[in-house]
Amino acid sequence: MERIVAPSKIKGIVKAPASKSMTQRAIAAALLAGGESTILNPSYCDDSLAAMSIATGLGARVKPGTAEISITGGEELKEHRLNCGESGLAIRMFSPIAALYPGEIHITGAGSLKNRPMNMIEDALRQFGVACTSNNGFLPLTIKGPLTGGECEIDGSISSQLLTGLLMALPVTAKNSIVKVNDLKSKPYIDMTLQVLDKFGIRVINDNYSRFIIAGNQKYKASVFDVESDWSGGAFLLVAGAIAGEITVEGLRTDSRQSDKAILTALDKAGAMLSISDNSVTVSKSDLKAFEQSI
C-alpha cells in the first residue's frame, strides 16, 4: 500500500475555545454569591457540565443558554451525592465548598478520577476540623461540615487545585483563615482563581504564594463574568499558522494569567512572524529556527 502525504496550508480567522478552568471557577463563585450571576462565553465541556451539576446539587439555580449561563446562588443543600465526572479540578475545588454545608455529602467521580489519591483533601479538611473520609485514600469522599475557618498547611508541589477550593470556600466561613502552602508549582492557576474571586468581591492576601490570609464573613457579590478564551487550545492553532500558512486566533487576551500564554515567547524565539493585539494573535509562516527556553 502506498500513501502520499502532501503539504497543506492553513489560512483564516478562528476564535479560540473558552477556558474550561475559568468556567468552572466562575460557576463555583456564582454558586456562593447572593443573587443572579451571568457567565458569558462559557465552556460546555464535560468538566464544566459536571461543575454545573454540582452547583445545582449544592442549591444553585442553573440556566444554561447558547452563549451564557445564568446562576442564582443558593445555600440550601439539594443533593447529598455529587458526581465530579472525571474532573480533577471539580473534586479538589468543590470538596472544601461542600464542607461549608452542615449535612453529610458524598462525592463520587468516574473514569480516571477513581484512581487519583484523595489524601490531600482529607488531610486539609481535617486540619479545619471537618469530618472527611475516603475509600482507603480514593473516591468516594464523605464530607460532613460545617467548615468554619482556621489554619492549615498543604503541599502545593503536585497540584494547586485544592488551594483553589480552599480560597473559594474560606472567605464565607465564620472565622479568619490562613493557608500555608509548601512548594507551590502552578502559580498562574492561583492567579486565575484570585482574578475570579476579585471579580465576585472577595479579597485574599497573597503572601508570596507561600501563605494566604483570608478574612472570614465575606460575601460573594453576584456578577457578570466574561470567560476568556483558552490559551492552551489556542496554542495549537498558533503553531499551525507558524508552520503552514497564516492564522488569526481571536479571543486570546494578552493580559491573561494563563500559563500557556508562554507560547508567544516560544514562537518569538523560534522566529515566527507575530502580530499581537489586545484580543487576537496573528501568526504567519516563516523560517523557524531552534531555540532554548528555560522552564
Render pLDDT for 155-186 as a digit per residue (tens, 0 to 9). Answer: 999 999 999 999 999 999 999 999 999 999 89
Q: Is residue 292 assigned to a domain? A: no
189 and 149 within one domain: yes
Average pLDDT (231-248) is 93
C-alpha cell at 62: 442553573
Among 180, 198, 226, the domain boundary falls at 226
Q: Is residue 289 assigned to a domain? A: no
250 and 217 within one domain: no
Average pLDDT (16-32) is 97
Per-residue model confidence (pLDDT) at position 74: 85
259 and 218 within one domain: no
Summary mean pLDDT of the chain: 95
68 and 144 within one domain: yes
Q: Which amino acid type is present at position 20? A: K
pLDDT, one tens digit per residue, over 34-65 is 999 999 999 999 999 999 999 999 999 999 99
Domain count, the chain: 2
Residue tagged 461549608 (cell numbers): 100
Q: What are phi and psi of 212, to 5 degrees?
A: -120, 125
CA distance linking residue 79 with residue 75, whole number of Å: 12
Average pLDDT (223-229) is 97
Paired sense of beta strands 220-221 and 273-276, if any: unpaired
Helix (H, G, I), strand (E, B) or coil at 171: helix
Q: Is the dihedral of CA 151, 154, 160, 162 positive or negative?
A: negative
64 and 159 within one domain: yes
pLDDT, one tens digit per residue, over 62-89 is 999 999 999 999 879 999 999 999 999 9
What's the number of CA atoms in the CB half-sphere (13 Å) around residue 228? Answer: 18
Among 179, 208, 226, the domain boundary falls at 226
Indicate whether 8 pLDDT > 90: no
251 and 133 within one domain: no
Domain region containing 247: 10-15+229-284
pLDDT, one tens digit per residue, over 92-111 is 999 999 999 998 999 999 99
Per-residue model confidence (pLDDT) at position 293: 74
Strand partners, 220: 33
248 and 221 within one domain: no
Average pLDDT (138-149) is 97
Average pLDDT (127-139) is 97
Per-residue model confidence (pLDDT) at position 295: 61
**Predicted TM-score (pTM) of this structure:** 0.94
Per-residue model confidence (pLDDT) at position 7: 80
51 and 162 within one domain: yes
How much of the chain exceeds pLDDT 90, in percent? 89
Per-residue model confidence (pLDDT) at position 286: 86
CATH code where residue 34 lies: 3.65.10.10
C-alpha cell at 29: 463563585
C-alpha cell at 176: 479568619
Average pLDDT (190-217) is 98
